[in-house]
Amino acid sequence: MPRFLREYFNRNGVGLGSIMLGLVLFWTIGLIILPQLSMLDFSFRPNLPPPEIGGPKDLYTLENYKYLIFGPEGGSQDYNAVDLKVFYRTLIAAVLVTLFNLMLCYPIAYYLAQTNGNHIRILALMLIIPYWINEILRAFALRIIFGESGVLNNLLVGMGVFDTPFDFIRNDIALYAGLGYAYILLMIFPIYNVIESLDRNQIEAARDMGASWTRIHRRVVIPYAKPGISSGCTMVFMLSAGALAAPQILGGPSSLWFTQLIYQQFNDNSDWPQGAAYAVVLLVTCILLVLALMRVFKVNMGDIGK
Amino acid sequence: MSAGVGVNLENLWIRFGDFVAVRDANVNINGGDFFSFLGPSGCGKTTILRAVSGFLEPSEGNVLIGGNNMKGIGPNKRPTALIFQNLALFPLMKVWENITFSMEIKGASAKERRKRADELLDMIALSGQGDKLPSELSGGQKQRVAIARALCAEPDVLLLDEPLSALDLKLRQHMRSELREIQKRVGITFIYITHDQGEALTMSDNVAVMRAGVIDQIGDGKTIYNDPNTAFAASFVGENNVFRGTVKKVIGDEVMINTNRSGDLMARISSSNVGKMKEGDDAMLFIRPEAFSLAPLGTQGDHFVTAEVHKEEFEGNVFNIFMEGEGGKEMKVSLPNLGQSFESHKGEPMTLEYDVHNAVALPAGVLATE
């Protein structure tokens, strides 16, 4: 038995230790790794009617991946322009949502972490309680606010800002707002956690030496908060890129989210192998993107866990 | 170098809600002085420092630096640099970046900053350590980096908030002389906050003794030690034995006090209280442990004290004798070790003599240990 395992069992006892270990293994292997592996397996198989599954035609193929890039065989175009466009637009939008979220949440997290008093607890509660409402209802609430005859349009037209109602939904503003709002807490809390442990004297020391607020943030607070920022950004990016409810409800008619394509393949076309291939491409691209950005910003994997 | 920039506190009041942290402080600090605020924790000394550095606006009164009123001027605009109790080095910046942070703000080039950092690193005897992170340095080295960082800003006044309190005893004593040395070399005004009277006395040109927001006495170390203004200053600075009693007779600047347990004793009235003590007043008489000498047992007189020996200690340079004192407290006597033979008198009475000039009489007041 390796040493860390022996230490683990010494600390927790054999009974409790086995139960905890069993649950963790079941969670990671049974609920995450095996289903993903089976999706990976699906993605390399042809879409066959049930009787032919396991038959002579059930051979591994790259067909599903080719489809994303080149479209249907003998199609009119050289590339699957429609799906590819949705794919990169989803990624870009997810990056934008993440950046927007960061700009919004960093000041809030800083304020929460560096201010004392009861009102901070109330503020935190006000941030948390809306999340008791489920995601779909929150998305519909935003639709009501942003709709053509919604609260916001009534207000803006009433104030004379616009002559005619502005179509927030067709212009994707509702979608960005919805996605941004959906993951605010996942951005705020990791940053809050890190900044809370920042010694306030460091801020005062920088200030005492004549630093402006922007410089204090750039040189002292943000470098310190980097693990929290990267952890928050990773989560928000991954979840936005993989979101389904918000794009479904708040997206304009012309703007599909890549997850909606995946959903269509699984559900409407009953083409699980094709859906699986799309899902694998999204997952792998997102992971690679995150790893590349972590390299650029010199973030370690261990920092993400902070 | 420079003649130094003075700091004046004029009728300074600082309140937090109903709590008065600083009460009507008036202090004149000469340019180039090493000035200490000495007092127990919670006496308001750090509050004064924060008011000088600009992190706190006084409720009333003024802070003048070099004769200029600092009202409304933020900490980043004052000619002061503060060294924090926990140093507050930036953990993610290298040592040289830490030291030259103030130059970075002013837009100095990396080359200039590096050069200045190397000069300052030489000065604090840390040459070649500029590329380390603060976490790779020892406590004393971090201390010196914090000093270099503050000096790099070329402040007129350096403010130090108990910067030695986190160090162990040996290092603390070493850093005391080093700080004093640095201060002499750069010639700027140092304002030093401490609760350690040893630190205050050894380093400072002048010391302000504070208690509960009030400055009891300002003076050089010798004056504060030998001629305290108040019972608090007498008991807080150095060790002291107190005898309570009432004034029996005033003779010029000396006084006879009818003490509760040692009869009538003579003492010199502390110079700021001459003429203020009169017959019948409650008074306190202070005699330092080292002011006693042995006398033939049973000698009577107005500068002799007889009491039973409770405990004896050999400290190397002195013999400490703890005798039955007032109100269950022990009276401490320190006799210098001059190679004389020393017999134990434990459990027996002993008679001690003191020079009236070394006993200080003060109006009764709050003691530091109470």
Q: Which residues of chain B have a CB within 8 Å of the CB of A206?
A: 90, 101
Of A201, A209, A220, the CB nearest to B86: A201
What is the structure's pLDDT at B7?
Answer: 92
**Over residues B24-45, mean pLDDT:** 90
Amino acid at B296: P
Domain ranges of chain A: 62-304
> What was the pLDDT predicted at A159?
87
- pLDDT in the model for residue B185: 85
How many other C-beta atoms lie within 10 A of the C-beta of residue A167? 15
Q: Domain residue spans in chain B? A: 7-226, 232-363
Q: Is the dihedral of CA A150, A156, A158, A161 positive or negative?
A: negative
Tell if the CB–CB gap between B101 and A219 is shorter than 8 Å.
yes
Predicted pLDDT at A306: 57
Q: Is A202 an interface residue toward B (CB < 8 Å)?
A: yes
Q: Looking at this protein, which amino acid is placed at residue B301?
A: G
**Closest approach of A23 to chain B, Cα-based (Å):** 39
> Closest residue of A to B89, CA-based?
A202
ipTM attached to this prediction? 0.76
**Shortest Cα distance, chain B CAs vs residue A207, angstroms:** 5
C-alpha atoms less than 13 angstroms from C-alpha of A179 in its C-beta half-sphere: 31
pLDDT at B330: 84
User: Minimal Cα distance from B52: which residue of A?
Assistant: A208
pLDDT beyond 70 at B13: yes
Q: What is the mean pLDDT of chain B?
A: 88
CB–CB of A219 and B153 under 8 A? no
| Cross-chain residue pair A201–B102, CB shorter than 8 Å | no
pLDDT of residue A250: 87
Q: Which two tokens stand for residue B281?
A: 């007043």
* Chain B contact for A205 (CB, 8 A cutoff): yes
Contact yes or no for B265/B259 (Cβ under 8 A): yes
Smallest Cα distance from A305 to chain B, Å: 19
Q: CA B11, CA B160: separation in Å to the nearest integer?
A: 22
Q: Which CATH number fits domain B232-363: 2.40.50.140, 2.40.430.10, 2.10.25.10, 3.40.50.620?
A: 2.40.50.140
Beta strands B282-287 and B241-251, pairing class: antiparallel
A1 pLDDT exceeds 80?
no
Nearest beta carbon to residue B76 from set A210, A223, A224: A210
> Which listed CATH number (3.40.630.30, 3.30.479.10, 3.40.470.10, 3.40.50.300) goes with B7-226?
3.40.50.300
Q: Please state, in angstroms and rounded to a whole number, the distance separating the CA atoms of residues B151 and A143.
A: 59
The average confidence (pLDDT) of chain A is 87
Could you report the per-residue pLDDT of A103-113, keeping only the tens digit for each?
Answer: 999 999 999 99
The answer to whether B299 and B351 have CB atoms below 8 angstroms apart is yes
Q: At residue B2, does pLDDT exceed 60?
A: no
Per-residue pLDDT of B161-220, as tens digits, reads 988 887 788 888 888 888 888 888 888 999 999 988 888 888 899 999 999 889 999 999
Model confidence at B1: pLDDT above 60: no
For A62-304, CATH gives 1.10.3720.10
- The per-residue pLDDT for A279 is 92
Provide, as residue numbers in chain B, all residues whose Cβ is less than 8 Å from the Cβ of A204: 55, 75, 82, 84, 88
For chain B, the straight-line distance linking the first and the last C-alpha, in angstroms and rounded, comes to 45
Assign A72 a pLDDT band (cuts: 50, 70, 90): confident
A204/A183 Cα distance (integer angstroms): 32
Query: With bands split at pLDDT 50, 70 and 90, how would you rate the model's confidence at B279?
Result: confident
* Residues of B with Cβ-Cβ distance to A223 under 8 angstroms: 92
* CB-defined contacts A:B, below 8 A: 59
Per-residue pLDDT tens digits for A173-188: 888 888 888 888 999 9
